[in-house]
Amino acid sequence: MKRYLVRPGDKVNLDDWDPDDRKAFKKDKEHAQVKIQQLDRRLDALQELLYAEHKHKVLVVLQAMDTAGKDGVIRKVFEGVNPQGVRVATFKQPTSQELDHDYLWRVHQELPSRGQLVIFNRSHYEDVLVVRVHNLVPPRVWEKRYNQINEFERMLAEEGTTILKFYLHIDEEEQKRRLQARLADPDKRWKFSQDDIRERALWPEYLQAYNAVLSRTSTSWAPWYIVPSKSKWYRNLVVAQILVDVLSGLKMSYPVIKENKKITIK
């Protein structure tokens, strides 16, 4: 999975990353589904450990172009975990109250507490993506935010939060195919919006903005992974494997009852 890691200091050009790469898993989709089920069971066990130990905090950030599959990852990768210890936070257009505060204020309120795994479906990175592409603030404002975000995430890491950031990578042609599929399917047509067309017209601008984000905010304490997402099964496999690898590395264990005498239940 290290092939998808953006190392600190790397200069990313997403045109150089194959959204249909499947080299980390040599077998076919049918074998991959078995592997994903195994990973799901392992992730469920690790999440239970995380919740029981009540020591670590885990933040998963999902960012992507429209239709790349953030919702799909949440449904498929986390379908077996106990919802008691997992929460999803979605960041849409800021409210008037949120705009009255600094741009990280609303983010801080959604962070995981001890024993929790929180998934950000979009995140604080919207403030160097949408804000930049739509010229909502001057460049001198959003330009400062890369370093501010790095320091914000450094503080979270030093306070015990494990941060994993996934960019789900598709190309422009695949997005077109998925948008057309939404329109053709009566059960999925509700997902389609005219905003999808307007945002799609800004693909080059978003690509440039994502190149900057991935190049400037992948750190040792909060790394980015660029996940090939043209094949949905492969996307899910990569995300699940990285999560299992990282959570396993936390060396968690169940709490031990520290009573001096044996407990008897009558």
Domain containing residue 107: 2-248
Distances (CA, A) of 99 to 106, 112, 122, 209: 9, 22, 17, 22
Write down the pTM of the prediction.
0.94
pLDDT tens sequence across 88-122:
999 989 999 999 999 999 999 999 999 999 999 99
Which CATH number belongs to the domain containing residue 156 in this structure? 3.40.50.300
Provide the number of structural domains found in the chain: 1
Question: Which residues contact residue 75 at a Cβ distance below 8 angstroms, ignoring those fewer than 6 apart?
Answer: none
Element (H, E) at 89: strand 86-90
Question: Which residues contact residue 147 at a Cβ distance below 8 angstroms, ignoring those fewer than 6 apart?
Answer: none
Query: Does residue 18 fall inside a structural domain?
Result: yes
- Planar angle of CA 113, 117, 120, nearest 5 degrees: 100
Query: Does residue 256 fall inside a structural domain?
Result: no
Query: Does residue 258 fall inside a structural domain?
Result: no
Query: Does residue 261 fall inside a structural domain?
Result: no
Spatial distance between the Cα atoms of 175 and 56, rounded to a whole number of angstroms: 36
Six-digit token string for 72: 């799909």
DSSP for 127-184? GGTHHHHTTSS-HHHHTTHHHHHHHHHHHHHHTTEEEEEEEEE--HHHHHHHHHHHHH
Spatial distance between the Cα atoms of 160 and 190, rounded to a whole number of angstroms: 40
- pLDDT at residue 261 in the model: 63
- pLDDT at residue 259 in the model: 66
Spatial distance between the Cα atoms of 37 and 220, rounded to a whole number of angstroms: 29
Query: Does residue 62 fall inside a structural domain?
Result: yes
Query: Does residue 78 fall inside a structural domain?
Result: yes
For 87, which DSSP code?
E
Per-residue pLDDT of the chain (266 residues; tens, 9 = 90+): 899 999 999 999 999 999 999 998 877 888 888 999 999 999 999 999 999 999 999 999 999 999 999 999 999 999 889 888 899 999 989 999 999 999 999 999 999 999 999 999 999 999 999 999 999 999 999 999 999 999 999 999 999 999 999 999 999 999 999 999 988 888 888 888 888 899 999 999 999 999 999 999 999 999 999 999 999 999 999 999 999 999 999 999 999 877 656 667 77
Query: Does residue 264 fall inside a structural domain?
Result: no
- pLDDT at residue 32 in the model: 87
Spatial distance between the Cα atoms of 9 and 11, rounded to a whole number of angstroms: 6
Spatial distance between the Cα atoms of 247 and 76, rounded to a whole number of angstroms: 18
In this structure, are residues 73 and 239 in contact, taking their beta carbons and an 8 Å threshold?
yes
- pLDDT at residue 195 in the model: 84
Query: Does residue 234 fall inside a structural domain?
Result: yes
* Helix spans in the chain (H): 29-53, 70-77, 96-99, 105-108, 130-133, 139-142, 145-158, 172-184, 194-200, 203-216, 232-248
Element (H, E) at 224: strand 224-228
